[in-house]
């Protein structure tokens, strides 16, 4: 594992702060359009977010594909450079910071500011889930003789099969029983942009969920706990050799 510290060239491609909520049935998602003027200086681009459902059904012994437009779910608001994105939806709120990443304090402050705008315009019944998700893209030089040089939990194959790994994906769900915080940890191999490199995706989604509703007064302190666990998972998942690539 690597020592926790600031990485000046952190491999973060997207940082996400997310709320899942339950609103009063009477809430009209069109009410978010009133935010256009308020958000325009920082988020001049506004787009609809629609929901779709697809499936198959059997009718007269024939398989039919079913596609349903479930209507307007909310809106995207994007900064001029497209690096900051806010989603106002009937099922929640999301703030995303795309590459290049800045710092947690800046991301958290902007998410909190936009959340307050969301909170003021909805008929909120419950906050059921909050999450911090960081998607990292680790660019690793080829050839890779052993993934254990870069990951602390690398993919393994039986020693009796001396074969190279061309693809892999792992997903592990862990839980901190003390704080009741959970995390989805995904590792996957992807192609690099150049022929002499590979990319390892390290996707860390840390969340707290309670269907009966979370205590709103404790939400932002809980986000600090989520961030702390996210950092632990990241540095415990990579080797010092990997960390040095992004200093």
Domain count across the chain? 1
| Mean pLDDT, residues 175-181 | 95
**Tens-place pLDDT, residues 24-59:** 999 999 999 999 999 999 999 999 988 766 667 766
Q: pLDDT class for 69, splitting at 50, 70, 90?
A: low
Q: What is the pLDDT of residues 112-123, one digit of tens each?
A: 999 999 999 999
pTM, two decimals, is 0.91
DSSP 122: S
Instruction: From 102, 41, 42, 114, select the one nearest 74 (Cα to Cα).
Output: 114
Please work out, in degrees rounded to the nearest 5, the angle formed at the alpha carbon of residue 140 by the alpha carbons of 184 and 193: 95
Q: Is the pLDDT of residue 160 over 90?
A: no
Cβ(95)–Cβ(114) below 8 Å = yes
Between CA 19 and CA 222 the distance in angstroms is 12
In a domain, 116, yes or no: no
**Is 44 within the bounds of a domain?**
no
In a domain, 202, yes or no: yes
Rounded to the nearest 10 degrees, how much is the dihedral formed by the CA atoms of 59, 60, 62, 67? -20
The whole-chain average pLDDT of the chain stands at 93
| Domain contains 77 | no
Domain that holds residue 212: 1-16+132-247
Cross-strand bridge partners of residue 185: 172, 204
Question: Considering the chain, what percentage of its residues have pLDDT values greater than 90?
Answer: 82
213 within domain boundaries: yes
Residue 49 belongs to a domain = no
């Amino acid at each position: 594992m690597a020592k926790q510290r600031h990485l000046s060239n952190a491999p973060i491609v997207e940082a996400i702060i997310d709320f899942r909520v339950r609103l009063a049935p009477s809430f009209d998602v069109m009410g978010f359009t009133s935010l256009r003027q308020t958000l325009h200086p920082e988020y001049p681009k506004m787009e609809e977010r629609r929901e779709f459902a697809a499936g198959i059904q059997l009718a007269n012994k024939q398989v039919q594909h079913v596609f349903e437009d479930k209507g307007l779910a909310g809106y995207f608001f994007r900064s001029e450079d497209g690096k900051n994105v806010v989603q106002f939806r009937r099922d929640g709120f999301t703030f995303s910071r795309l590459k290049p990443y800045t710092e947690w304090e800046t991301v958290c402050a902007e998410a909190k500011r936009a959340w307050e705008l969301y909170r003021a315009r909805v008929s909120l019944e419950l906050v059921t889930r909050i999450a911090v998700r960081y998607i990292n893209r680790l660019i690793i030089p080829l050839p890779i003789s052993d993934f254990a040089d870069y990951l602390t939990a690398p993919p393994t194959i039986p020693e009796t099969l001396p074969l190279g790994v061309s693809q892999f994906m792992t997903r592990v769900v862990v839980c901190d029983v003390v704080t009741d915080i959970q995390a989805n940890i995904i590792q996957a191999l992807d192609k690099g942009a150049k022929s002499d490199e590979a990319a390892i995706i390290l996707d860390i989604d840390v969340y707290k969920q309670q269907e009966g509703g979370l205590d709103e007064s404790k939400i932002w302190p809980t986000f600090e706990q989520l961030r702390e666990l996210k950092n632990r998972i990241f540095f415990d998942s990579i080797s010092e050799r990997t960390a040095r690539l992004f200093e």
